[in-house]
Amino acid sequence: MLDHLGIQVADPEASAAFYDAVLAALGHGRMLQYGPVIGYGTDHPRFWISPSETGGPARESHIAFLAPDRQTVNAFFRAAVTTGAEVLHEPKVWPEYHEHYYGAFVRDPDGNNVEAVSHAPV
């Protein structure tokens, strides 16, 4: 449904360090950069960060990145913790979503709920 998604960040350097680490763990990287605007992806940029240009407090967003397997979710989680991210939920199976839903949830530097999820059975 979505071609790409962009979010605004308060501290582009801190957010870039966070997303460089967690997206690398998921097999993605920086593809394009225009000054402080960065596009991440594998075949083309699908996730973008840019400096906040709107006034007022930010609202929490939930961003879930697909992982091919549980080991990759675990790698995402380790990378996030290494950057100092707040842990919301350690990697585990969430049967209330479905029997194979395996996810980990952390906060990015702007307070967004960022998740890696695998739907694979193992």
pTM higher than 0.85: yes
Q: Look up residue 5 and give its two tokens.
A: 């998604």
User: Using an 8 Å Cβ cutoff, are 65 and 76 in contact?
Assistant: yes
Give yes or no for residue 11 having a pLDDT over 90.
yes
Q: Under DSSP, is residue 16 helix (H, G, I), strand (E, B) or coil? A: helix
Give yes or no for residue 71 having a pLDDT over 80.
yes
Q: Under DSSP, is residue 26 helix (H, G, I), strand (E, B) or coil? A: coil
- 69 DSSP assignment: S
Q: What mean pLDDT, rounded, does the chain reach? A: 95
